[in-house]
């Protein structure tokens, strides 16, 4: 994956802006934007993880929100028992969602095409119902929690600290994904999307590679669940509803499928647009739905895809 000058500049600018947002918000007395952008970055991680299997791997999962929920419940349930230590919560969130993704992957990856879409959808519904019936942990009412603790000195109760934590994870996950995509593993995954038969022919068991990608993506989304539970100080089965899987998928598409940085822009565009338009009218979905249709029909490349692929003077 090569980046041209425009994209590099854009990324530098955006990262710079994200970095200086907290002090600026503080000066302007607009702390609301910390929450908004924090939420955007969390969904950027979730969308990036979906993009790994969807954009790069061609696995159209309509159940990705399940891992957002698993990660969140890992925080929630541990916090319920008074364990707020993030060093424990974070691995549980990541490995917990990895295990669930692994199991779901074993079942779902036996199928393909429309079957795959529908069975991932049904799986997330299964977990959603499970969440509702977990009476001890609040069931449908959800579970209010305290924020996790990494270090005593680094209080996540402070919105700025939480913001920087989210930002750090976004950077780490993006770098990790970059490495992953460009590794031999990434090449196989992309190859399997383009021509599964050929990958078989040259001796790759695509099932194993896909399962691994599915599991990694699940655990990354679990990480975003960990962050989301902390941002909201609340866990609810609602995180796992299949509509949310659809929303994450929209973010991937709006940002640009199969791109590393698209999901961040997609998440930003989706959440901000929703924020604005829902203030206009109670019936905003009537505008929002057709807009989505138009986007898919005419702007499939997404925001990141609109940027020129190479420098003008390269040609």
Partner 1 sequence: MTLFLEQLLNGMQFGVFLFLVSAGLTLVLGIMNVVNLAHGSLYMLGAYFAATFYAWTGSLWIAFFLMVPSSLLIGIIVEVVTLRRLYSRDHMDQVLVTFGLILFFNEGVKLIWGAEAQYMPIPESLSDPTQIFDIPYPTYRLVIIGVGLLVAAVLYILISRTKTGMLIRAGASNGPMIRALGVNIRLLYTIIFGMGAFLAGLAGLMAGPILSVESGMGEEMLILAFVVIVIGGIGSIRGALVASILVGVFDVVGRSYLPDLLLRVVPSDIAETAGPALASMLIYLLMILVLFFRPEGLFPAGGR
Partner 2 sequence: MKMKLIMAASLLAATSLATVPQPSVAQDNEVRVGFMAGFPGGRGIYGRDQRDGFLLALDQLGGKLGGLPTKIIIGDTQHKPDVGRQVMSKFLKKDKVHFVAGITWSNVLAAVYKQALKNKTFLISTNAGWSGMDGKHCNPYFFRSSWNNDATPEAMGKLFQAELDNVYLLSANYQAGKDMLTGFLRHYKGKIAGRTLYKLGNSDWAAELTKIRAAKPGAIFAFAPGGMGLSLLKQFNASGLNKTMKLYTVFAVDWMMLKAYGKAAIGNIHTSFWDADSNSPANVRFKRDYANKYKRPASMFAVQGYDAALLINLGIRGASGNLKDHDSIRAAMRTASIDSPRGGFIYNNNHSPIQNYYKREVVADADGNPKIVTRGTVFRGHKDAYHKLCKMQW
CB of 88 to partner 1, least distance (A): 27
Q: Which is nearer to partner 2, 175 or 285 (CB)?
A: 285
Contact region with partner 1 (CB under 8 A), list: 7-15, 69-77, 201-209, 242-250: 242-250
Beta strands in 111-180, from DSSP E residues, in sequence order:
143-144
Which partner, partner 2, partner 1, none, binds residue 234 by CB below 5 to 8 Å per kind?
partner 2
Choose one: 54-62, 94-102, 152-160, 212-220; the region binding partner 1 (CB under 8 A): 54-62
Tell whether residue 282 is a contact of partner 2 (CB under 8 A): yes
Q: Supply the minimum distance, in Å, between the C-beta of residue 129 and partner 2.
A: 7
- From the list partner 2, partner 1, none, partner contacted by residue 26 (C-beta under 5 to 8 A by kind): none
Contact window for partner 2 (CB under 8 A) among 81-89, 176-184, 198-206, 299-307: 299-307
Write the interaction track for partner 2 spanning residues 131-170; mark x where CB under 8 A is met and - where it is not: -xx-x--xxxxx-x--------------------------
Residue 279: how many other CB atoms lie within 10 Å: 8
Q: Which is nearer to partner 1, 133 or 183 (CB)?
A: 133
Provide, rounded to whole angstroms, the least separation between the CB of residue 224 and partner 1: 21
| Residue 144 interaction partner, one of partner 1, partner 2, none, beta carbon < 5-8 Å per kind | partner 2
User: Do residues 216 and 14 touch, judged by C-beta distance below 8 A?
Assistant: no
Longest Cα separation, the chain: 63
Q: Which entry of partner 1, partner 2, none binds 117, CB below 5 to 8 A by partner kind?
A: partner 1
Nearest Cα residue to 223 out of 91, 80, 61, 128: 91
Question: Does residue 195 touch partner 1 according to CB under 8 A?
Answer: no
Q: How deeply is 32 buried, as exposed, middle or buried, from its count of CB atoms within 10 A (0-12, 13-18, 19+)? A: exposed
How does DSSP classify residue 234?
A: E
- Please report where in the chains the tokens 């997609």 appear, as a residue: 266
Radius of gyration over alpha carbons of the chain, in Å? Answer: 19
Q: What is the DSSP string of 87-115?
A: HHHHHHHHHHHHHHHHHHHHHHTTS-HHH
Q: Decide: is 227 part of the binding site for partner 1 (CB under 8 A).
A: no
Nearer to partner 1, 41 or 104 (CB): 104
> What gap in Å lies between CA 77 and CA 241, rounded to an integer?
19
Q: Which is nearer to partner 1, 223 or 271 (CB)?
A: 271
Cβ–Cβ < 8 Å for 55, 304: no
Contact string (CB under 8 A) for partner 2, positions 4-43, x = contact:
---------------------x--x-xxxx-xx--x----
Contact status: 279 vs partner 1 (CB under 8 A): no
- Footprint (CB under 8 A) of partner 1, residues 123-152: 123, 125-126, 129-130, 132-133, 135
User: Which of 75, 27, 72 is CA-nearest to residue 46?
Assistant: 72
CB 214 within 8 A of CB 185: no
Q: Is 233 left (phi over 0), alpha (psi -120 to 50) or beta?
A: left
Rounded Cα–Cα distance for residues 177 and 49 (Å): 8
CA distance from start to end of the chain: 18
Please, are residues 47 and 266 in contact by the beta-carbon 8 Å criterion?
A: yes
Least separation, in Å, of the C-beta of 113 and partner 2?
28
> Which residues are at the interface with partner 1 (CB under 8 A)?
54, 58, 60, 62, 107, 110-111, 113-115, 117-119, 121-123, 125-126, 129-130, 132-133, 135, 242, 246, 249-250, 253, 257, 283-286, 288-293, 296-297, 300
């Amino acid at each position: 994956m090569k980046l041209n000058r425009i994209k590099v500049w854009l990324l530098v600018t955006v990262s710079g802006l994200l970095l200086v947002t907290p002090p600026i918000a503080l000066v302007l007395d607009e702390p609301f934007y910390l929450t908004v952008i924090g939420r955007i970055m969390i969904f950027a991680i979730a969308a990036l993880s979906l993009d790994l299997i969807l954009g790069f791997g061609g696995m159209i999962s309509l159940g990705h929100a399940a891992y957002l929920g698993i990660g969140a419940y890992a925080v929630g349930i541990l916090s319920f028992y008074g364990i707020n230590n993030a060093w424990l919560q974070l691995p549980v969130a990541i490995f917990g969602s990895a295990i669930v993704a692994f199991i779901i992957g074993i079942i779902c990856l036996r199928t393909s095409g429309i079957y795959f879409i529908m069975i991932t959808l049904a799986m997330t519904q299964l977990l959603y119902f499970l969440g509702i019936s977990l009476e001890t942990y609040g069931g449908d009412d959800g579970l209010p929690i305290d924020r996790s603790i990494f270090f005593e000195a680094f209080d996540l109760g402070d919105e700025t600290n939480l913001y920087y934590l989210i930002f750090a994870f976004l950077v780490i996950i993006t770098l990790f994904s970059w490495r992953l995509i460009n590794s031999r593993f990434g090449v196989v995954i992309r190859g399997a999307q383009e021509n599964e038969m050929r990958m078989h022919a040259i001796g790759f068991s695509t099932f194993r590679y896909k399962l691994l990608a599915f599991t990694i993506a699940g655990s990354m989304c679990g990480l975003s669940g960990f962050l989301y539970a902390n941002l909201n100080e609340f866990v609810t089965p609602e995180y796992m509803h299949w509509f949310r899987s659809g929303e994450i998928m929209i973010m991937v598409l709006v940002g640009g499928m199969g791109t590393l940085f698209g999901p961040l822009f997609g998440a930003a565009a989706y959440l901000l647009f929703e924020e604005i338009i829902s203030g206009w009218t109670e019936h905003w979905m009537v505008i929002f739905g057709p807009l989505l249709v138009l986007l898919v029909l005419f702007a499939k490349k997404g925001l990141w895809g609109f940027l020129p692929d190479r420098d003008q003077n390269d040609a």
